[in-house]
Structure 1
Amino acid sequence: MATVLLSAAGAALGGSIGGTVAGLSKVAVGRLVGATLGRAIDQRIMGQGSDVVESGRVDRFRITGAAEGNAIARVHGQMRVGGQVIWASRFSESVLTSGGGKGLSPQPSVREYSYSVSLAIALCEGEITRVGRVWADGMEISPDDLNMRVYTGTRDQLPDPKIEAVEGTGRVPAYRGTAYLVLEDLQLEPFGNRVPQFSFEVFRPAPVDQQDAQFEPAHAVRGVALIPGTGEYSLSTTPVYYRNGPGESWAANLNTPSGKTDFETSLEALDAEMPNYAAVSLIVSWFGSDLRCAACDVQPRPEQTDFEGSMPWRVAGLGGAEASAVATSEGRPVYGGTPSDGSVIEAIRRMNDMGKNVTFYPFILMEQLADNGLPDPWSDASDQPVLPWRGRITLSKAPGQPGSPDRSAQADSEVADFFGAASAADFEIANGQVSYSGPAEWRYRRFILHYAALCKAAGGVGAFCIGSEMRALTQIRGAGDVFAVVEQMRGLAADVRAILGPDVKIGYAADWSEYFGYHPQDGSGDVYFHLDPLWADDAIDFVGIDNYMPLSDWRDGDAHADAVWGTIYNPAYLKANVAGGEGYDWFYHSPEAEAAQICTPITDGAYDEPWVFRHKDIRNWWMNEHHERIGGVRQETPTAWKPQSKPIWFTELGCAAIDKGTNQPNKFLDPKSSESRLPSYSNGRRDDFIQRQYLRAIYDHWGDPAQNPVSPEYGGPMVDMARAHVWAWDARPFPHFPNNRELWSDGDNYRRGHWLNGRVSNRSLASVVREICERAGVLAFDVDDLRGVVRGFAIGEVADARTALQPLMLQHGFDAVDREGVLTFMMRDGRDAIAIARDDLAMSGDLDGVVSRTRGSEADMSGRVQVGFVQAGGDYDMISEEAVLPRDDACSHPHRIAAIDDKGRGAPSGRTLVDGGACRA
């Protein structure tokens, strides 16, 4: 079209001029010029002709910013950093030619230019544990798409082979002590043929050599519990897609830009952030239908039954089409579905390949919703509680309730109904699959034996629990006062042993209030070691305890009984309560006594065995023979338990990140559940530091050989901390869980929950200050009073220690004070103001009057500094840190007088004593 139009236009222009050129009329010349120009335009637009079309070529190559002399950043905790380019190869240009040829309709020859380059980017001083997420021009991308190698900054790292290939062997530094990464042959076409602006998520917990001075979970924890135990494909290493008709599909377990399944992404983070962990407890859940054991089915459930995944959901022979879906509330499932058998097998094999010691941990989730119409066995209520704890499953009427069948043959019958009749012989393993040919029932034995067979089909596990926290069930007595569930569990353990063989460790995970004995509150004076027949059974290899024993009894203010310890975070205070305090030295005999802190000592005047009544006295329970007391009389013959015969594993261990979490570490917040509770006397605020201090106290206590003796029977420690499974690491990758709440409805529970994800690489405030001081050459310092967690802190410039510490001091509210030649860091405690009488002030002859008033700075006027921030990318909720200005004790220099209430609220008066006006007290 341009050829026609410009040819006509050229002819018209030539005609208006007139004359000839080289024998041609100017009309013809005009037509020729116009047609030539028009043809060129047509070729460009319409693709006709054989001229070359070039695409993607750049005239000059530009790389991301780099400058000589820039400081290498220092990172503490978890931070997003940009880094500095420290090496770049020449860019490589590639040309792909297509098209061309001859004929009636020749196509243009198209040359497509693409470029690649290799880069080395310094991140920070080493040693880091990993690089997590990667952003290019602000968009998160998959690190696996970058051909990226990470050097963590060790003192023995070697030069990068790509850099050596370009620069020559022996001519390349190893950048030891610097964490850096190499992007080899980075393809630039996706970024517009330029190097994008990269940023990287860097994880740097406290250095290993600080472990003796400050507890750091990243180095100390050696075992974790892997939750949530639900999610149809949450444990799958294979991508799974749902399909809902032709052309409509979506990923079930690919919810991050990593390009890997959620399980793989989370497992990689766990492996990098906690390099010393070697044991993992794999939680898998079925659903219980009723708190009355005889009526309670235990069954797997999918999240939905409307559409199928590319890995069909099948559990224990049940397919999605035949199964009942998980109960819903407000249009959403209250839990994820049971993981498919195929995904469980994949998870076990993956962790076995990683060299991890896997403990299989079966879990019962109760699914009762409001107005369920199921009579409550614990009361006269016509409905059972909403989503209750499995530890409340009991008889048709609980022991102690009117009409309870406890201590009768009916109790034996109800327990037998709960366990069912499935046996080891009913399960067949072939080609990695498990088939079942037993009774058509969904009872407890089928649940446990199915997973024993599935673990064997997966290649085996290191350990297997036959149950967890069945507290009310194990206390049921049948005819002749035999503990019916305990006998059933012994038979079940024998069947599991028959399936798994002699090398797998088998145990039961008892609740911390259950493992040591049963003391019926019926006035009889009976004391039973009801689980001893199970603990002593030859099929059982370890005593499992889900350990959530309280480590504090803290209240607000300075008037409560434990205030002499100064703060709930005091590691000596918490450690003293691991085998001390409530449940060891004393107990509360009533709620009124608890409110008033009236403690009743735990004693045993009759037989001098107070450990019998102490649930915290693990050592004496383990080291001694057990003599039951019937009617209060100590029996001559001990139980079957042989002292020091089997190790103790903490099959669960943990504390929520919530104010005063150590008061009741077993409490959690979940609005859906009737079990949701704040720890006693908690204000409900998030507190990551108390979770860390809880773990520190537990690990310090049981890491002490004086507290944790070695058994002469098996040659190992009483409490095997290598098999302490800290609750919990989530198989859903952080921070997409908890932030993606449209997908995962329990995301809001994370903030004040038991999760380690997103917390384990955080630094204690004390460890960061310690490192800054040591780096500056200051060796006489004291950080023991510092409290708090540093989620991420970077120092990007060369500066003195004071400059580096200033942001931390402002955010966390602490001061540096010289005490007898030691630089002492002290929290601004916010205690009550002290009234100082005028007669107690020293006089100064240089000033008129006794007291001079000066107005402090804005920061000094703030009784509390609220600091809010959102981590880059919106990965965290608003974080609120608190700091209260100081009130110095008796000293020789001027100090502030704070007007702060007993909860640390309010603001200081802003008054300062005159120079020389010192406290005489």
Structure 2
Amino acid sequence: MENIEKWWSETHTNPDGSKTKWQPKMKKIWFTEYGFPSMNGCTNEPNVFVDKGSIESKYPRYSNGEVSFLSQKIAIEGTLKKWQSSEMVEKMFLWAWDARPFPYFPNLCDVWADCHNWQTGHWIQGKLSQLNISDVLSDLLQKTGLKSDQFDTSNVKGLLSGYVINDQQPVRSIIKMLQSCYFFDVVEQDSKLKFVQKGRGVTTGIPIGEMVFSNNSKLANISQLDLNNKVNVVYFNRNFGYPIDVKYAELPKQGAAITVEIPLIMEEGEAQNIAEILLYSSWQERNIYNFKLPIKYAWLVPSDVITILDGEKKHTVRIIKTKFESMSIQVIGVGYDHSTYKLSFPSTRSLMLKEYPSSHISKTIVEMID
């Protein structure tokens, strides 16, 4: 059924042409089941699921198969926003709640054979309770005294399971840390702080003939800083009682290794994804661009992405600094690739816990208060 409102507001006709007893708006509608798998493209086919043991196993149409709790959360919030206050819908039942307690399900794989399906399935325990990073940023900014009309965090996407703060920290340092793993820029524009997600937005094409290079310099210079061939990400593992864990990304090149300590509670796949993005983006950003543009490009600001059209070659650049000089604009940027900044992660999860819930049931103490 594609048009619920039309169906609810009109009379119904049987195939033989006779009218049914249904009268327009005769009674309220119940959604007996609505839900979405927690993977990329979940809204394309909300009813499908991935289960290697089932012949009905299927990814949503056009999905890349990657886990995305965020996509599931946005889909559920969007459904509620659309129908919760509707005059025609009375009740909505979300699929799927599970009687098995999180995190024992899905962590106890030797007890429940379907544990590996949780990560991409319709289950919401352990997923829906995570916070939108845009809301976290908004809360931090308001705590500094900024009003909601002085900033815009709506462009930043991602979920936060937990953040460990064990000492006093300025909000600036907290936001800077979040930048390193949620990959966004902060720019001041139109008297407002704007948070811009990397990997999103529109790219502007600029012919190389409109650019002026100082001292006949090259289009791009390679940074002379030592590049890393390995990035270790230290984090709190969400699935094993929050121990400190490490995930890493490595390139088959010579170079140094760096370790990044992130005081966040994460899934293993999330930490792996962050390590890969940090490593690959550092290699892309070794290309540094420095040039001038005509004043007609004065609207460009740091965090904007441009594509330099050089004949058949194209150079994608993220602007990191601009400066007005007479009737031109000085631009400094770094190499960039939209596809690097994906915030979903592969559907792999290594779980084999032996930590069972305590079988001891404590005494119930009842106190009567008069």
TM-score range, shorter chain: 0.5 to 0.7
Alpha-carbon separation, structure 2, partners of 1:855 and 1:655: 45
Distance in 1 of aligned mates of 2:213 and 2:303: 13
Of 722, 726, 738, the residue aligned with 2:94 is: 726
The 3-state SS of whatever aligns with 1:917 is strand
Aligned residue type for 1:775: K
Where does 1:566-605 land on structure 2 (aligned, <5 Å)? none
Shift of 1:664: 0.6
Partner of 1:616: 2
Q: Which residue of 1 aligns with 2:209?
A: 839
Aligned equivalent of 1:879:
269
Looking at structure 2, the residues matched to 817 and 755 of structure 1 have their Cα atoms a distance apart, in angstroms, of: 37
> Secondary structure of the residue that 1:651 maps to in structure 2?
strand
Partner of 1:692: 73
- 1:866–1:645: structure 2 CA closer, same or farther, 3 Å change rule? farther
Cα distance change of structure 1 residues 698 and 685 upon mapping to structure 2, 3 Å threshold:
same
- Answer yes or no: is 1:739 the counterpart of 2:118: no
Cα deviation code 1:6-37 (max 9, x no counterpart):
xxxxxxxxxxxxxxxxxxxxxxxxxxxxxxxx
1:44-63, aligned counterparts within 5 Å? none
Question: For residue 870 of structure 1, what is the aligned residue in structure 2?
Answer: 237
Amino acid at match of 2:207: A
**Structure 2 residue 104 is the aligned partner of structure 1 residue 758:** no
Query: Which structure would you say has the larger RCO, counting Cα contacts within 8 Å and 6 or more residues apart?
Result: 2
Structure 1 distance, partners of 2:74, 2:99, is: 24
Query: Equivalents in 2 of 1:762, 1:806: separation in Å?
Result: 20
Distance 1:771 1:765 in 2: 10
5+ long unaligned stretches in structure 2: 243-265, 286-296, 309-314, 324-328, 333-370
Q: AA paired with 2:79?
A: I
Amino acid at match of 2:71: I
Shifted more, 814-823 versus 909-918: the winner is 909-918
Give how far 1:752 is off: 0.8
The CA deviation at 1:767 is 0.7
Whether the 8 Å contact between 2:319 and 2:331 is mirrored in structure 1 is no
Displacement after TM superposition at 1:663 (Å): 0.7
Q: Secondary structure at the match of 1:669?
A: coil
For residue 850 of structure 1, report the CA deviation from its aligned partner.
Answer: 6.7
Give 1:858 deviation, angstroms.
Answer: 8.1
Going from structure 1 to structure 2, the CA distance change for 1:749 and 1:841 (only over 3 Å counts) comes to same
- Structure 1 residue identity aligned to 2:25: Q
The SS at the match of 2:237 is: coil
- CA–CA distance in structure 1, aligned partners of residues 70 and 318 of structure 2: 30
Distance of aligned partners of 1:830 and 1:649 in 2 relative to their CA distance in 1, 3 Å threshold: closer
CA deviation vs aligned residue, 1:796-820 (integer Å, no higher than 9, x gap): 3322221011221111111111111
Aligned partners of 1:728 and 1:797: how far apart in 2?
38
Could you tell me whether the CA contact under 8 Å between 2:304 and 2:318 is conserved in 1? Answer: no
Structure 1 position 917, deviation (Å): 3.2
TM-superposed CA distance for 1:732, in Å, is 0.8
Correspondence 1:148-227 to 2 at 5 A: none
Q: What one-letter code is carried by the residue in structure 2 that aligns with 1:702?
A: W
Code of the aligned partner of 1:825: F
| Alignment CA distance shift 1:856-1:651 (3 Å) | farther
The structure-2 alpha-carbon separation of the partners of 1:811 and 1:777, relative to structure 1 and needing over 3 Å to count, comes to same
Alpha-carbon deviations, 1:68-122, whole Å to 9, x = none? xxxxxxxxxxxxxxxxxxxxxxxxxxxxxxxxxxxxxxxxxxxxxxxxxxxxxxx
Residues 413-424 of structure 1 aligned to structure 2 (within 5 Å): none
Residue pairs, 1:512-531, within 5 angstroms = none
Q: Of the candidates 52, 60, 64, which is equivalent to residue 683 of structure 1? A: 64
1:785 alignment partner, one of 147, 155, 162? 155
One-letter amino acid of the counterpart of residue 752, structure 1? T
In the alignment, is the contact (CA less than 8 A) between 1:667 and 1:677 conserved in 2?
Answer: yes
Larger radius of gyration: 1
Of 106, 109, 116, which aligns to 1:748?
116
Distance 1:750 1:773, change over 3 A: same
Q: What amino acid is the match of 1:776?
A: T
Name the aligned partner's letter for residue 689 of structure 1: L
Residue in structure 2 matched with residue 819 of structure 1 by the alignment: 189
Q: Distance in 1 between matches of 2:45 and 2:318?
A: 39
Cα distance, 1:842 vs structure 2: 4.3
Q: Using a 3 Å threshold, how does the CA distance of structure 1 residues 842 and 776 change in structure 2: closer, same or farther?
A: farther
Pairing partner for 1:767 from 128, 135, 156: 135
- 1:653 counterpart (31, 34, 38): 34
Q: Give the C-alpha shift of residue 746 in structure 1.
A: 0.2
Deviations 1:652-698 (A, max 9, x none): 11101101111111111111111110001111111000111111111
Letter in 2 for 1:761: S
Cα distance per residue 1:552-583 (max 9 Å; x no partner)? xxxxxxxxxxxxxxxxxxxxxxxxxxxxxxxx
Equivalent residue letter for 1:917: Q
1:340-379 correspondence runs (5 A):
none
1:787 and 1:854 map into 2 onto residues whose CA distance is 31
Letter in 2 for 1:801: V
Greater fraction strand: 2
Distance 1:819 1:848 in 2: 32
Deviation at 1:851, TM superposition (A): 4.6
Amino acid at match of 1:625: T
CA 1:896/1:833 → structure 2, altered by over 3 Å: closer, same or farther?
closer
Q: Which amino acid is the alignment partner of residue 751 of structure 1? A: Q
Residue 787 of structure 1 and its aligned partner are, at CA, apart by: 0.9
Per the TM alignment, residue 839 of structure 1 is displaced from its structure 2 partner at its CA by: 2.2
Q: Is the 8 A contact 1:869 1:878 kept in 2?
A: no
When residues 654 and 858 of structure 1 are mapped into structure 2, their CA distance, relative to the original with a 3 A threshold, is: farther
Q: 1:805 aligns with which of 175, 181, 200?
A: 175
- The offset of 1:835, in angstroms, is 5.9
Unaligned runs of 5+ in 1: 1-614, 710-717, 900-906
Equivalent residue pairs, number:
275
For 1:778, the aligned partner's letter is: L
**RMSD between aligned residues:** 3.8
Secondary structure of 1:672's counterpart equals coil
Structure 1: which amino acid aligns with 2:83? W
Q: Secondary structure at the match of 1:810?
A: helix
SS at match of 1:662: coil
From the superposition, tell whether residues 893 and 652 of structure 1 become closer, same or farther in structure 2 (CA, over 3 Å): closer
- Per-residue deviation, residues 376-406 of structure 1 (Å, max 9, x unmatched): xxxxxxxxxxxxxxxxxxxxxxxxxxxxxxx
Q: Per-residue CA shift, 1:26-49, capped at 9, x if unaligned?
A: xxxxxxxxxxxxxxxxxxxxxxxx
Please name the residue that 2:24 is paired with. Answer: 643
Question: Matches of 2:316 and 2:197 in 1, distance apart?
Answer: 15
Contact 1:853–1:911 (Cα < 8 Å) also in 2: no
